[in-house]
Amino acid sequence: MTGRPRARELGVPFDGVPGPLNALTDVAGVEVGYVTLVEGEGALRTGHGPVRTGVTAILPRGRAGIDVPCAAGYFSLNGNGEMTGTAWLEETGSLTLPVLLSNTHAIGPCHRGVIDWVVEHRPEVAAGWLLPVVAETWDGYLNDINGSHVRPEHAGRAIDAAAGGPVAEGAVGGGTGMTCYSFKGGCGTASRRVPYGPDSYTVGAFVQANFGARAELTVAGVPVGRRLAEDNRQESSDWLAPPGSGSVIAVVATDAPLLPGQCTALARRVPLGLARTGTAGSHFSGDLFLAFSTANPGALTSTFPTTAPEADAYETLRFIPWGRLDAFYTAVVRAVEEAVVNALVAGETMIGRDGHRSPGLPHDALSALLDGHRAR
């Protein structure tokens, strides 16, 4: 953990009831692991640094359950980004294997790294084909993104590091070199409880936040970004992404029993949570979202048939009726909003390649703006 407060500790008001950790890992069985790579300073020397990047691994059912499918769905708000494995996910409605997040040019090493890890640790799973989900956002403002610093073994180390419990936020893992609303961005998470008759379910969200222009930033309904513009200095470069671009990846998990199409519906609600933080969605921002349900273990298998055709088998999915999903949609929106603000609050000023600077969100100034708005 960074030791930095979270948004609620600064008095930022949010709607809804979070789980005990207010994190993606409030969904039982979900694990998160990081490898963070920070090295060097000064002028960019491609292949040498400075390095400000890393890898995040999200395991829907932990290491022991990497081959047990989850119902899953995917949604792209804007496609200037990459999330591998989505063609098969859309075909089958199921997700297996760890989900990895890193920088734009590290998709290949992470993809290979998942395969290498499965071959080593679960060779029986690797006997068929492996189509991992790997997603990215661009950290080239701070990081030597063309330097091949993320290697397949880093993906394996992130998977090995995955655990339940509290989740570190800010400049860790794949979020290490990210910038959000022209402040230091990175990883953020939050969760919401959803009562359902005699039962109670959890919806958790995890974001790799690297999007938005400073003037857009809105916290708890207050347009604070335009009041925090004095610390908006960025160093010159041969090429930098336009303000507001950069991308965001969101992963939503729930233990509620859902159909694959219902998981897609949850993923489609992620942009509503992002919009609460101010973004209108930039053309140059890749905004890609994944949602999965850990219920119904053992269903949605995609294995070769082992019995004669006349001995047909069946699978059964228990699911919440479509007409009862509104509370889960609301939970996604609220958890995503808070996850983004948590990523910003966790951010500390970082200096990267060529002296490029991504400033930490000033806590005192944010609290003063929110207090002033409430006092009106």
Q: Is 282 among the catalytic positions?
A: no
DSSP-H helix ranges across 189-305: 260-276
Tell me the DSSP string of 296-322: STT-S--PPP-S-TTS----------G
204: three-class secondary structure by DSSP = strand
DSSP-H helix ranges across 217-325: 260-276
Q: How far apart are the two ends of the chain, measured CA to CA in Å?
A: 36
Catalytic member of 94, 102, 245, 247 = 247
Would strands 287-293 and 248-254 be described as parallel, antiparallel, or unpaired? parallel
Q: Give the separation between CA 271 and CA 249, rounded to whole angstroms.
A: 11
- As a whole number of Å, the CA-based R_g of the chain is 20
Catalytic member of 94, 182, 285, 293 = 285
Q: Is 144 among the catalytic positions?
A: no
Dihedral pair phi/psi, residue 202, rounded to 5°: -120, 140
Dihedral pair phi/psi, residue 274, rounded to 5°: -60, -40
Catalytic member of 139, 144, 287, 354 = 287
Q: Give the separation between CA 44 and CA 236, rounded to whole angstroms.
A: 13
Neighbouring-strand partners of residue 184:
179
Q: Is 287 among the catalytic positions?
A: yes
Residue 174 is inside which H or E element, if any? none
Residue 277 is inside which H or E element, if any? none
**What positions carry a catalytic annotation?**
247, 285, 287
